[in-house]
Structure 1
Amino acid sequence: MSARLALLTTAAATATAICAGCTMMAPAPMRTFDQGALPDPVKVPAGHRVAMETVGVGEITYECRAKASQPGAFEWVFVGPRAVLNDRGGKAVGSYFGPPATWASSDGSAITGAQLAVAPALPGSIPLQLVKANPATGAGAMKDVAYIQRVATQGGVAPARACGADAVGQREIVRYQADYIFWKAA
């Protein structure tokens, strides 16, 4: 027996002996995302199942611009997001960026989408959102995703600081977090 094989055999025997009194626990059942508490406009239609749940942690950039429809008025305008998508265990599994809004998996697959609906979130948080996915590029986790929900939002709203003529062109970065739930046809 080679030294390496002997070492592996000894390690396995030691682990077995250490855990001789352990009881095997059944894995926790996979939790299905419940959209029952969500407002109707952002619910995914029946006939779909959750394919992946992620937590997006990142930032949204806003820019101070003149309002096109109101001469002399100014507003903070959404420029784009940048976030890391983590699985429920905290492991990075992808990214979210834009424009256009793009969800990219670490496996190389990616999707863009078109917003279908929004619904109010808690004060100080960006709205909940339902997005219809475009066909994916790549053959990984994003393949066949039909809808993306943005739920459990925290932060991300436009800056509270004034946006006036003296601030035109200035950018502000705002931190945010949201759950992104990816749905495929059942």
Structure 2
Amino acid sequence: MIVKTTLAAAAALALSACASSMSAPMMYSQTSLPDAVKVPAGNKVAMETVGVGQITYECRTKANMPGQYEWVFVGPDAKLMDRSGKQVGKYYGPPATWEANDGSKFTATQLAVAPGGEGNIPLQLVKANPAMGMGAMSGVTYTQRVATKGGVAPAMACGASNMGAKQIVQYQADYIFYKAS
């Protein structure tokens, strides 16, 4: 009898855990973000995505510093997934472009960055340019890049011997899209 009761209780607990994980995700909160990357008042979350992909870097001469070299950001190539894991768009560049599966897309101007933690690309706030095409990206005003994982420039040496070499690094970040409220 005790075994049956314990099994029933475990099954009930497992079912309640499954039910709670299937509930709608909470809308993204800005409370823990640095002020520099917070979206201005008058905008509300329109879509939350997780970008999973790669960033390409190229070994180049430092600007105005002959004989010195650095890894330079070339561009991203990522899938944009909704919170359930379904692909809803892509992020690529240059220029940095966010595109929904419906073909609507926009480019943007970076307004601010903030540290993303050791080994992670920075958090970012961008102001969207008017969207091209009608769809999910129409009317987007701002996008935040938050919860970054990886994506920093390669640790390998960059110098005259490998100038022009490209390296691809993996990264992940949440992209939160806002529209005027």
- Category of TM-score, reference length = shorter chain: 0.7 to 0.9
Distance in 2 between the 1:159 and 1:29 partners?
37
Q: Name the counterpart of 1:64.
A: 59
Distance in 2 between the 1:30 and 1:154 partners?
20
- Which segment drifts farther, 61-70 or 75-84? 61-70
Residues 1:106 and 2:109 are matched in the alignment: no
> Deviation above 4 Å: which 4+ runs of structure 1?
none
Residues 1:117 and 2:112 are matched in the alignment: yes
Task: Choose which of 30, 35, 39 in structure 1 pairs with 2:30.
Answer: 35
Give the letter aligned to residue 164 of structure 1. G
Distance in 2 between the 1:81 and 1:30 partners?
26
Give the letter aligned to residue 43 of structure 2. H
Q: What is the deviation of 1:68?
A: 2.5
Task: Choose which of 147, 172, 180 in structure 1 pairs with 2:175.
Answer: 180
Q: Name the counterpart of 2:40.
A: 45
Give the letter aligned to residue 98 of structure 2. W
Q: Which runs of 5+ in 1 are unaligned?
A: 1-24
Alignment of 1:1-186 (within 5 A): 28=23, 31-186=26-181
Report the structure number with the largest CA radius of gyration: 1
Q: What is the deviation of 1:31?
A: 1.6
Q: What is the deviation of 1:69?
A: 1.5
Distance in 1 between the 2:42 and 2:63 partners?
42
Q: Name the counterpart of 1:15.
A: none
TM-score where L is the length of structure 1: 0.84
Q: What is the deviation of 1:30?
A: 5.2
Distance in 1 between the 2:25 and 2:134 partners?
24
Distance in 2 between the 1:30 and 1:152 partners?
16
Distance in 2 between the 1:57 and 1:182 partners?
16
Q: What is the deviation of 1:28?
A: 3.3
Cα distance change on mapping 1:29 and 1:91 into 2, 3 Å = closer
Q: Which runs of 5+ in 2 are unaligned?
A: 1-18
Give the letter aligned to residue 58 of structure 1. G
